Structure 1
């Protein structure tokens, strides 16, 4: 993939052109009120949905440029992106299988990451472009079937998918990796594989009451799934064990305004051997825990679709085998701050990634914590296009106490074709 000056700016140009076209004449294909850029295919798309077939094609593009750094004067710019092609099938409508559905998703990633190419960000624990990584290649990301039993209280899902789709799940609107998605997968990534990597898995969920459920899963640990040439690997030949996560999720409606929240409490254990940090000839099993909290705090003039939401993520990992000992992030998101832009949002988040004390002992305690902060403004250009310009600040890159401090500017765009 070439650098930004030669990279897919055609995508940005196409989206900008489409926005200009809709202002002059809102065609069906570029109607800002449509959820799809290409429209409803003369009604065929809605017709297929009613029959149980929901097709999707999404695009995420992320640009990052080094704005300033304490010890490096060279600046760089990189672009990374991802296409996701999917089909969700309602098998009750298609085959008459009650309370049964399936999903197939194929992803393709391209580009380069500033965190990998910039000298100022050498050793960056997080990433300035979360969409980069896990091999820039085509992958079978979802291939699963799900069925509900006992009046929909029991939910069983089997097939190929990643842990973060169901466990330790979180939004991915920020561009910095330490503020996006399942954080366990970011810091235990040698065994816990987030999107777009899939593995054979099973997940069982039981609804205790309407706002409370518990779930447990088992996910194959197969390092071959990370290889660039094995994005469609269905074999279990390289399996070395399983990751077993368990989680309780509470989704209350709070206060007089009945504002939604979500609270996750989870634990994971790996049956696979992992080398002990201080004595690599010995092996242990990885384990850890997490807390995820997200709560809408206010409604904007009584409108619950607008207002302030706060979030906190905490992960803790075993000191025997994991380089990152713990991670915390927190932030605020305000949607609809301006009456003229009711679907726009502004957000700020900050994270702390702490290196395991045993790693510090090996390196004579040169490493400590890395901090990543980001502020973005999300422009809801249409119902199918959101653009989020952002500024990131990384303190102590690589968690080195005397490490680089850097400012990064970025643009994240997401669209649904």
Structure 2
């Protein structure tokens, strides 16, 4: 009888095996060019000025890139802890190793405008949200995920129409390109990437880290100012709804490649205002977008008979489809003289979704960054940001209905969750960032009781959480 393969073995042969194979394909495809240029050794860079910790590999990295193969390895490690509030107090370590491979098929095969990209993660440690904060909606870490080795993106992209149109197909993620803010990306809290309203309202958090899913994206950019993009995704990146409640465990290796009958669609138009430093006109970008999901979504207050779930405990009625709208503004506010990108910049994002079928019905975040705040620290970035996620009225009313029906075991009425983050990115080297971080989380889990509270007794909401920590990012 053939020997059964263990679960660990399967995972290792999934994303890690695919990425290794792709990198080897690229190396061998580029071998002739490397051999031809093998006698020309690139000069060794100074450790503290080179782009990566491991440098140019004796010129091999540059020759690979020139031949169409780019290999990247990055390690993000952090220690975050809530010194007060939440479900319990304590510090947790979380780490993520990323391996990325890009194949430029124009350089490798002469195929104009085409590329292949794949990246995967080895996620280790334990996240603060699940362990200490009682399942809050605005995750204090944008790398927190279930421990595993996972394939993320794996797609083919083709440019068309004089490079004004690009098509991407394969396993992709919406948070790579949609609802993004270039200035919000400097913060550690996950909501400043894939906004908390999307993670809370979409099945399995939507097609975003750590779960990409099969899809296709089309982007049209007729000029440098205007662009429009739209994408269609499989409706649930976790695949089957059956099995473990944790979506990341249902698709542990990122290789489910599910294509169920439901569909998630998102579209976005963007306009970048031309910048003219001499005229005092600084860069700004405005984005407007919307999304649609074809699945049926549970009603948050009423059951199949039209009665209140908080009182009956019956199965919820099902609402047909789901949708939402959003907007993003990125703006440089003050430019530091005689610099390209130093100065004060800000962002604002807003989003909304129907109240009856979504835990979060309104969302807003905003923040400020200053790059080059201190003399001689041109690449450092200091930032402060605020985010607010409103719990829908339907969910709040359900809590009130429950309390009226169970006066001896009342629960807190959820209302909102908010976070204030203060951070500083210290660029110790082009390949090394050290980032101390402070967050204050208001109403963790939307002002819910601790998950470990006795459901037969009255319970109070978890207290606001004060989170301290630091992150280090190293590019190898």
TM-score range, shorter chain: 0.7 to 0.9
Aligned: 1:396 with 2:417: no
Take 1:122 and 1:182, find their aligned partners in 2: how far apart are those partners? 19
* Shift in alpha-carbon separation, 1:102–1:184, aligned structure 2, 3 A: farther
Once the two structures are TM-superposed, the CA of residue 170 in structure 1 deviates from its matched residue by 3.2
Contact 2:440 2:464 in 1 (8 A): yes
Take 1:380 and 1:181, find their aligned partners in 2: how far apart are those partners? 24
Once the two structures are TM-superposed, the CA of residue 182 in structure 1 deviates from its matched residue by 4.6
Equivalent residue, structure 2, for 1:243: 264
Report 1:289-368 matches (<5 A). Answer: 289-364=325-400, 366-368=413-415
Of 147, 152, 158, the residue aligned with 1:147 is 158
Contact 1:168 1:183 in 2 (8 A): no
Once the two structures are TM-superposed, the CA of residue 235 in structure 1 deviates from its matched residue by 4.1
Take 2:197 and 2:111, find their aligned partners in 1: how far apart are those partners? 35
- Output one character per residue of 1:83-107: Cα deviation in whole Å (capped at 9) or x when no partner: 1101111111111111111101111
Take 2:250 and 2:318, find their aligned partners in 1: how far apart are those partners? 31
Take 2:254 and 2:143, find their aligned partners in 1: how far apart are those partners? 19
Take 2:54 and 2:334, find their aligned partners in 1: how far apart are those partners? 35
Range with greater deviation from structure 2 (205-214 or 397-406): 397-406
How large is the RMSD of aligned CA atoms in angstroms? 2.2
Aligned: 1:180 with 2:216: no
Secondary structure of the residue that 1:49 maps to in structure 2? helix
Equivalent residue, structure 2, for 1:265: 288
Secondary structure of the residue that 1:63 maps to in structure 2? strand
Contact 1:205 1:215 in 2 (8 A): yes
Q: Which runs of 5+ in 1 are unaligned?
A: 1-26
Once the two structures are TM-superposed, the CA of residue 361 in structure 1 deviates from its matched residue by 0.6
- Output one character per residue of 1:160-194: Cα deviation in whole Å (capped at 9) or x when no partner: 11111121123532122222345554233425221
Q: Which runs of 5+ in 2 are unaligned?
A: 1-42, 240-246, 304-315, 401-411, 449-460
Once the two structures are TM-superposed, the CA of residue 259 in structure 1 deviates from its matched residue by 3.0
Equivalent residue, structure 2, for 1:409: 468
Secondary structure of the residue that 2:191 maps to in structure 1? helix
Range with greater deviation from structure 2 (316-325 or 352-361): 316-325
Aligned: 1:373 with 2:373: no
Secondary structure of the residue that 2:106 maps to in structure 1? helix
Of 220, 240, 251, the residue aligned with 2:234 is 220
Equivalent residue, structure 2, for 1:167: 178
* Shift in alpha-carbon separation, 1:29–1:110, aligned structure 2, 3 A: farther
* Shift in alpha-carbon separation, 1:224–1:390, aligned structure 2, 3 A: closer
Of 136, 140, 146, the residue aligned with 2:147 is 136
Q: How many residues align?
A: 385
Equivalent residue, structure 1, for 2:317: 281
Once the two structures are TM-superposed, the CA of residue 30 in structure 1 deviates from its matched residue by 7.0
Take 1:114 and 1:195, find their aligned partners in 2: how far apart are those partners? 17
* Shift in alpha-carbon separation, 1:232–1:75, aligned structure 2, 3 A: closer
Equivalent residue, structure 2, for 1:24: none
Range with greater deviation from structure 2 (395-404 or 97-106): 395-404
Equivalent residue, structure 1, for 2:430: 383
Secondary structure of the residue that 1:146 maps to in structure 2? strand
Once the two structures are TM-superposed, the CA of residue 375 in structure 1 deviates from its matched residue by 0.4
Contact 1:322 1:356 in 2 (8 A): yes
Take 2:115 and 2:281, find their aligned partners in 1: how far apart are those partners? 31
Contact 1:113 1:128 in 2 (8 A): no
Take 1:183 and 1:296, find their aligned partners in 2: how far apart are those partners? 24
Contact 1:162 1:198 in 2 (8 A): yes
Once the two structures are TM-superposed, the CA of residue 39 in structure 1 deviates from its matched residue by 0.7
TM-score where L is the length of structure 1: 0.87
Report 1:28-43 matches (<5 A). Answer: 28=44, 31-43=47-59
Report 1:25-104 matches (<5 A). Answer: 28=44, 31-69=47-85, 75-104=89-118
TM-score where L is the length of structure 2: 0.76
Range with greater deviation from structure 2 (190-199 or 347-356): 190-199
Contact 2:324 2:353 in 1 (8 A): yes
